[in-house]
Amino acid sequence: MADALRLGPLGFGGANLGNLFQAMTDEDAHAILQTAWDCGIRYFDTAPHYGLGLAERRLGAFLAGKPRAEFVVSTKAGRLLRPSPETADRLDEEGGFAVPADTARVWDPSPDGVRRSLEESLERLGLDRVDVLLLHDPDEYADPDASIAAAVPGLVGLREAGLVDAVGIGSKSTDALLAGVRTGGLDLLMVAGRYTLLEQPAAAELLPECRRCGIGVVVAGAYNSGLLSSAQPREDARYEYGAVPAEMLARARRLAAICAEHGVELPVAALQFPLRHEVVRAVALGATEPGHVRENVRRAGVPIPAALWEHLAAEGLIQ
């Protein structure tokens, strides 16, 4: 099923549309999405979690003027949004989004919760269907295995009913993703930060299992929250949405130095690295301004000599 979806190689990751870390206007969001569209990107990922529904509303407003057959949308389930008037006077500190916390996230991976999540996402998006529905961050549940066991039948039921084309899990935990693969019911995984130029824990077991089971992969977080997004990694860059550990900064700078030896900028290699694996269908990248989208498209087309990959492998930096 994943092979039939027109995803890649570049998709648009919608977390920033929910005001992740900093606010943007509706006009700014529209300009970023329009640039992605003009650059040929047709796969858009979002989630209720992103800005407590704001990212879905902004994406839906943009796509309202586009032919439905020409784009692919994935959204996520597992977090229902419910009114929270008692926190409406503060910002969403839980998610790190610069939006009023006038709704609260309520975890519900049950089949009924998954269905309600899809229905509510469709209302925010203004669409009658999405192409892909992913269980979002089951690793953050108290019992990830139980949440996956509860959610997957609901996801599969929605697919079998023709309400979505493909189902899967989106997570930064290889253990949670592997547990999902082993249910036997999934089509697609969104692997966040676990198969990047910086680190590849998904390479050992997860990606071979995906190959064996015919499951496609979308890689999110290819820049590791920004650490690999500049030619020279900075100490004040983010990693895993927080401060950069010293060992990761040193590793990123070693990667940058080797890339420079081969005349390649670090972000170019970071973007293209995941796409070398046969199960990876797309890399989903966010943006906070239109120029970021154009730059990512440029980076995707830069030729990279095979000698760079050989050098990185010889150094034990990639698998």
The confidence score (pLDDT) of residue 56 equals 98
d(CA 85, CA 109): 24
Q: Is residue 296 included in any domain, yes or no?
A: yes
The runs of H, that is alpha helices, within 82-165 are 111-125, 144-160
The confidence score (pLDDT) of residue 3 equals 64
Distance from chain centroid for Cα 147: 20
Q: Is residue 74 included in any domain, yes or no?
A: yes
Query: What is the crossing angle of helices 144-160 and 111-125, to 10°?
Result: 60
User: DSSP letters along 109-120, please?
Assistant: -SHHHHHHHHHH
Domains contained in the chain, number: 1
Q: Is 168 helix (H, G, I), strand (E, B) or coil?
A: strand
> Which run of H or E residues covers position 99?
strand 97-100
The confidence score (pLDDT) of residue 8 equals 86
Q: Which phi-psi region, left, alpha or beta, contains residue 40 (left: φ > 0; alpha: ψ -120 to 50)?
A: left
Q: What is the pLDDT along the chain (319 residues), one digit of tens a residue?
A: 556 688 989 999 999 999 999 999 999 999 999 999 999 999 999 999 999 999 999 999 999 989 999 999 999 999 999 999 999 999 998 899 999 999 999 999 999 999 999 999 999 999 999 999 999 999 998 899 999 999 999 999 999 999 999 999 999 999 999 999 999 999 999 999 999 999 999 999 999 999 999 999 999 999 998 999 999 999 888 888 788 999 999 999 999 999 999 999 999 999 999 999 999 999 999 999 999 999 999 999 999 999 999 999 999 999 8
The confidence score (pLDDT) of residue 275 equals 98
The confidence score (pLDDT) of residue 319 equals 86
The confidence score (pLDDT) of residue 138 equals 96
Q: Is residue 282 included in any domain, yes or no?
A: yes
Query: What is the crossing angle of helices 246-261 and 306-314, to 10°?
Result: 140
Query: Of 234, 228, 214, 231, which is closest to residue 281 (Cα–Cα)?
Result: 214
Q: Is residue 44 included in any domain, yes or no?
A: yes
Residue 85 CB burial class (10 angstroms; 0-12, 13-18, ≥19): exposed
Residue at 88: amino acid letter? A
The confidence score (pLDDT) of residue 34 equals 98
Domain containing 9 equals 2-314
Query: 130 with 147: CB under 8 angstroms?
Result: no
Query: Of 177, 189, 198, which is closest to residue 273 (Cα–Cα)?
Result: 198
Q: Phi and psi of 24, rounded to 5°?
A: -135, 160
**Farthest CA pair distance, the chain:** 58
Q: Is residue 251 included in any domain, yes or no?
A: yes
d(CA 212, CA 198): 25
d(CA 43, CA 41): 6
Catalytic residues: 50
Q: Is residue 319 included in any domain, yes or no?
A: no
The confidence score (pLDDT) of residue 234 equals 92
CATH of the domain at 264: 3.20.20.100
Q: Is residue 141 included in any domain, yes or no?
A: yes
Query: 269 with 199: CB under 8 angstroms?
Result: no
Q: Is residue 54 included in any domain, yes or no?
A: yes
What tokens does 299 get? 């980076």
